[in-house]
Amino acid sequence: MTYSSAIDLVRGIRARLGSSGLDIDTLFRQAGLEEGECMADDALTLSDKLSQLWDRVTQASGDPLLGLKVASPQALDRSGMMGHIMRASPDLRTAIENLVRYTPLVSPTVHSTLERIGDRIRITLDLPGGQRRVPQQHYDFIWCIVLRTLRSAAVRDDVKPVLVTYTFPEPDAAHAYANAFGCAVRFHAPANTMEFKDADLDVEIRTDNPMAADWALRMLSDLAQSQRNWTVRMLAKLEQSQHAGASFTARVQRILAEMLPSGEPLREEAARRLLMSERTLQRRLAEEGTNFTRLVDDTRRAMAQQHLSKGEMSLKKLSFQLGFSEPSAFCRACKRWFGQSPSQLQQGPLSLEVILSDKPEVGTGELGVFARPVQSGGEGFMRFKPNC
């Protein structure tokens, strides 16, 4: 039987959610996470299904911290590919390096990077989504699985990071995160990261099976071939969507709409979310006749027009929702986009009743064109000379 990391991933989540007391079978079925369906999905589709699952699980349980609570460790020989990679690693540092290296094989919906910053090792985690927002509970679950599996591999409960960061807003129960990770946790950060002191990773991983490393490497080779087939299907589906009229610009605009509430969107962050370099991002936008700065402005204008027409949000809140540093900057942008202030636009567009009149303006002998503000209902006129 061909190994499927998608099935391994879904089974791992199902096993841990089994202790939650929820109707897991129904929730997985509603999210489209039947094992047969998972094998046919591309990475972004599977990611959207997992996001839907976590949204449903959180709603059904009423517990926004469930992702932290259900990520219990399993014996390494029953932890799927992650466990085998751990057993093939001589120490925690190598284990982390191998996890990041083989992340696409362990989980096709996870993108991670590793970098050394001074005396620390930083893991950056990104869970790309297709059409759905990835909920924080999914990040909670992945981070806790990684940390608790490292502790299990080292047979030491004192293994802990020195810092964890989230891009999400700070929740009400922020203390629960510090308790779960045993370190400081920051929110509203530029990226989702976990940092360890390099010296703390000199912990040996002992395996009961000296053949585990060779076996895991052979399995990874087989899995790599399986994932190549997966990638071919994913690329074919993406190509079909592009032929159906989906544009790269529209994809970037969706990401910008998610980024704007956190402030001025950075090109490097948008490129990271798209899993590409800044240069590739610039080139793809140029091919469609635009650039990143112009697209940020276009996205803001479209969102402003939509919200102002509804009039449901205060102007101050809307200005920050669109990533402006202060309301006055939003006001200037509106005057540039629409020729009116936000408050004028929120009241509705000013329509003009144009009247051709042969009455000369007092004191002149010229034919006048007059316009009365219909909205005001008053009798005053604004006069435009024929050569204006």
- Single-letter residue type at 205: I
Which residue blocks in 244-356 are alpha helix, DSSP H? 248-259, 267-273, 278-287, 292-310, 315-321, 327-338, 342-346
* 68-100 pLDDT per residue, tens: 998 776 665 555 667 777 777 888 998 898 888
Q: If pLDDT is split at 50, 70 and 90, which confidence band does 377 have?
A: very low
- Could you tell me the pLDDT band of residue 106, with boundaries at 50, 70 and 90? low
Give me the domains of the chain, ranges plus CATH numbers. 5-224 (3.90.1520), 294-346 (1.10.10.60), 352-384 (no CATH)
Examine the pLDDT at 107 and tell me if it is beyond 90: no
CA distances from 230 to 44, 108, 160 (A): 12, 9, 35
pTM: 0.57
SS3 at position 367 = coil
Q: How far apart are CA 24 and CA 29, in angstroms?
A: 8
352 close to 374: Cβ distance less than 8 angstroms:
yes
Kindly report, residue by residue over 317-351, the tens digit of the pLDDT.
888 888 888 888 889 998 889 888 888 877 754 33
In what order do the strands lie in the sheet containing 368-373? 352-357, 368-373, 382-384
| Cβ pair 115, 272 in contact under 8 A | no
Q: Average pLDDT, whole number, for the chain?
A: 76
Q: What is the pLDDT of residues 35-63, one digit of tens each?
A: 666 655 667 778 888 999 999 999 999 99
Give pLDDT, residue 135. Answer: 93
Integer Cα distance of 68 and 162 in angstroms? 18
Q: Where is pLDDT greater, at 14 or 369?
A: 14
How confident is the model at residue 21, as a pLDDT? Answer: 84
For the chain, first and last CA: distance in Å?
A: 79
Residue-level pLDDT at 87: 74
Report, as an integer, the average pLDDT of 251-275. Answer: 85
What does each C-alpha distance from 6 to 11, 16, 179, 226 come to in angstroms? 9, 16, 31, 11
Tokens of 253: 């605009």
CB 92 within 8 A of CB 159: yes
Which neighbouring-strand residues pair with 116? 121
User: Both tokens of residue 124?
Assistant: 């950056």
Beta strand pairing status for 184-186 and 382-384? Answer: unpaired
Maximum mean pLDDT: which of 1-5, 232-236, 276-280, 378-382: 276-280
Q: For residue 109, what pLDDT is reported?
A: 75
CB 190 within 8 A of CB 167: yes
Closest CA to 347 of 376, 370, 317: 376
148 vs 66: CA distance, rounded Å: 15
Looking at per-residue pLDDT, the higher value among 224 and 30 belongs to 30
131-180: pLDDT as tens digits: 788 999 999 999 998 898 888 888 888 899 999 999 999 998 999 999 99
DSSP label of 107: -
